[in-house]
Amino acid sequence: MPLDASQDLFSDDFSDEPFWWRAARPMEVSQDGMKTEVDVLVVGSGYAGLCCALELGRAGVDVTVVDAGAIGGGASSRAAGFVSGRAGVSKQINLEKAVGPERADAILMEADEAFEHWRDAIATEEIDCDYVHKGRFVGAHTPTAYRKIAAKMTEYNQDGRGLFEMIPRADQRAYVKSPRFFGGMLIKNAGAVHPAKYHAGLLRLCRAAGGRFVPHTRVLSILSEGDKKRVVTAAGDILARRVAFAGGGYTDAAMPWLKRRIIPMSSTIMATAPLDPSLVASLLPAGCPTIDAKRVISFARPSPDGRHILFGGRARFYPLSAEKSVRILHAHMVETFPELAGVKIINAWSGLMAFTFDFLPKLGREDGVDYATACNGGSGIVMMSWLGRKMAWNILGGANRGSAFENLPFKTQPLYTGTPWFIPFIGEWYRFRDWIDLREVRSGRAD
């Protein structure tokens, strides 16, 4: 629903589409007609679906990608653009406790490998996506949070590369000018990308590799027919030798088994109207994105041209009008950057991310359908690109050496059918705990 652009928080040219679409819009129309029989059908046209299609296309496979909406209209053109390796997995959990020390190590190493691969790919494939490798600052909202982040840093630094460093409050101004933080962690091996341009670059490569794209075609169900799959879509049936499912946070009843294991989580971002670039540079001097360490996170980054600040997070965990979400986020933004009081908003949008009950991404095969899913609010740009490729290699067979994200337990919860009715309760509980944590700041004990 469009926002009321007359309201004072919104600039005259306000749009409720992603800011990124001003430079790269998802593909609404394709000349590729729908075939009734294909070798591999990919469901979902985000990074996972495209990277899968790219590998398959280059291996000479006849591949078609269908999407219920525009090609790339899901989370993949809505992200904030933060990219990293190991810092993107296991933020919410004690990984070693969850999967054991060996698997934990394998997961962290693979996340790093995924990031190296991602950086190599955008360079060698000449994907023009405004990538900058300037790190990321994780701000501590309390002194206690600073100590907790330091413990996580020790876990991350176990590879001996020293790519994570604690920055005390006295020095944080080199990264972020905000009264909200009590120091933080610098992730040196991280960066920021234009997510929609990255997606557009992948799409160009896929098309060059022979991939076919059919937007606005929802898959309704996937049935077995001999050794093939009959895929029922709103536009007719497709017979496929293999199906790769990459529905992300938009996964629906087409794959009920997966839907029962995925928690769709909404996140909102807004972009300020153009600012004086010197103001942007003074608030984020190193040009690196920043994220806080609360349970209910918020984050900020400069736009690639350095004229806007993009600020995002979760306004509330229950349905809210877009206008109210923006008002709440705007208040958070001003708490973080008081200099932005009165600044208007040019774009505000939301999207869905896929979470799992154990907060780990998953790669696997169920009932003959391959899937790659669930960034868990972490590094989906890198991770879903990586797992999409791995999914293709699984389909191709051959020399795939497997993945640490494969064959992990993939649990659901009793009575969960894919509608996350519990999110408002958990979300409010998280907000309450953040509020409790902030007592040490309110009481003045933190200074």
Ligand X SMILES: Cc1cc2nc3c(=O)[nH]c(=O)nc-3n(C[C@H](O)[C@H](O)[C@H](O)COP(=O)(O)OP(=O)(O)OC[C@H]3O[C@@H](n4cnc5c(N)ncnc54)[C@H](O)[C@@H]3O)c2cc1C
Supply the minimum distance, in Å, between the C-beta of residue 231 and ligand X. Answer: 9
| Partner residues linked to 355 by β-bridges | 263
Supply the minimum distance, in Å, between the C-beta of residue 398 and ligand X. Answer: 23
Question: Which of residues 290 and 379 has its CB atom nearest to ligand X in the complex?
Answer: 379
What residue ranges in 199-297 does DSSP mark as E strands?
212-214, 219-225, 228-233, 236-245, 263-272, 290-292
Nearest to 387 by CA among 99, 113, 195: 113
Are 206 and 57 in contact by the 8 Å Cβ rule? The answer is yes
Supply the minimum distance, in Å, between the C-beta of residue 383 and ligand X. Answer: 7
The C-alpha atoms of residue 237 and residue 235 are separated, in whole angstroms, by: 7
Helices (H), 125-255: 143-156, 195-208
DSSP annotation of 132 reads: B
Question: Which of residues 78 and 212 has its CB atom nearest to ligand X in the complex?
Answer: 78
The C-alpha atoms of residue 107 and residue 99 are separated, in whole angstroms, by: 9
Supply the minimum distance, in Å, between the C-beta of residue 411 and ligand X. Answer: 19
Torsion from C-alpha of 270, 272, 277, 283, nearest 10 degrees: -60
Question: Which of residues 122 and 382 has its CB atom nearest to ligand X in the complex?
Answer: 382
Question: Which of residues 248 and 302 has its CB atom nearest to ligand X in the complex?
Answer: 248
Question: Which of residues 143 and 256 has its CB atom nearest to ligand X in the complex?
Answer: 256
The C-alpha atoms of residue 59 and residue 57 are separated, in whole angstroms, by: 5
| Amino acid sitting at position 297 | I
Question: Which of residues 142 and 379 has its CB atom nearest to ligand X in the complex?
Answer: 379
* Cβ neighbours of 36 (radius 10 Å): 8
Supply the minimum distance, in Å, between the C-beta of residue 195 and ligand X. Answer: 7
Nearest to 290 by CA among 310, 320, 273, 270: 310
Interacting residue ranges for ligand X, rule: CB under 6 A: 43-49, 66-69, 73-76, 78-83, 218-219, 246-252, 254, 267, 269, 312, 351-353, 373, 375, 379-382, 384
Supply the minimum distance, in Å, between the C-beta of residue 50 and ligand X. Answer: 7
Question: Which of residues 218 and 241 has its CB atom nearest to ligand X in the complex?
Answer: 218
Supply the minimum distance, in Å, between the C-beta of residue 253 and ligand X. Answer: 8
